[in-house]
Structure 1
Amino acid sequence: MNKLFGTTQIHAYSRADKIQDGGLIDVSEPARQLGIVYPVGITSAVWTGVIQDIDGDKPFDIRTHGALWRCLSMLASAAKNPTTNDRELLFFVPLANKQGNMENVQLKAIIGPGDNLEAVITIMEPEED
């Protein structure tokens, strides 16, 4: 077994495991279409509460996911004007609610190390870690 900080590591839960389990949805391909070069994942809370709530159960196709496209577009735009925190970025996504009224939904993007210590981005709700 691996030694980690002088203790025995019993179990590790990787980003790949979280994607496979559905806790994180990989949206790297549509993100690349917007010029985001790092792998991007959206937490299941954002996917079900924001993206899927707007777009419904349509197949994962960038042409049918306006909420996903707006989310990634706003992330790309906000990343061009970073704040003082290099690791965390709060941004707003204008989305129509079920009544058709536009509202700004605040999300958080964190850039951190992936499973192989590469840079990855995770989009989540502001209160998520």
Structure 2
Amino acid sequence: MKEPGSPGSFEDADFIHSYSRKQAIEDGVLVNVTSLAKEAGFKVPVALTAALRARLQPSERDAQMGQSFDGRLWDVLMVLRSCAGDSDTVFFDVVVAEEDKQCTVHLKAIVGPGDDADPVITIMFQNED
């Protein structure tokens, strides 16, 4: 094992690229939903992937039937709260009404360090990384 600062260690290496959570939110890759998450009882910042955000947005027809993004997000947050445990990754399913049928959406939430190393939650589809 090399000692810190010895030739070949990464201690003095230049960063090739870094991409912060803040940048991902600014770019629209992640969507900050912390304000509603706080209302739902979450104590750390919460974001969704853009793909999940798009899936939770109801169609015009579904909106006419009473569906809303905030309502669907609330359901996601409530199910996540009920499933949360000691793991940093939680797999869970949410049923969403779409076009007169019930669709099961398979999700996962990852708790990890944010830009300042404080805990944050990111919710995404189970097959997203």
Fold-level similarity (TM above 0.5):
yes
Distance change (3 Å), C-alpha of 1:4 and 1:41? farther
**Residue number in structure 2 paired with 1:71:** 76
1:77 Cα shift? 1.3
Tell me which structure has the larger Cα radius of gyration: 2
- TM norm structure 2: 0.80
User: Structure 1: which 5+ runs fail to align?
Assistant: none
- TM norm structure 1: 0.80
**Residue number in structure 2 paired with 1:31:** 37
Secondary structure, aligned partner of 1:65:
helix
Distance change (3 Å), C-alpha of 1:29 and 1:7? same
Counterpart CA distance in 2 for 1:11 and 1:4 is: 14
* Contact preservation (8 Å) 2:56, 2:69: no
* Contact preservation (8 Å) 1:75, 1:91: yes
Q: What is the aligned-residue RMSD (CA, Å)? A: 2.1
1:1-129 pair list within 5 angstroms: 5-48=11-54, 50-52=55-57, 54=58, 65-79=70-84, 82=85, 86-98=87-99, 100-129=100-129
User: Structure 2: which 5+ runs fail to align?
Assistant: 1-8
Q: Percent identity among equivalent residues? A: 37
Aligned length: 115
Letter in structure 2 aligned against 1:118: D
CA deviations on 1:3-52 (whole Å, 9 max, x unpaired) are: 9544211332100000000000000010010111110000001111x211
Secondary structure, aligned partner of 2:44:
coil
* Contact preservation (8 Å) 2:110, 2:122: yes
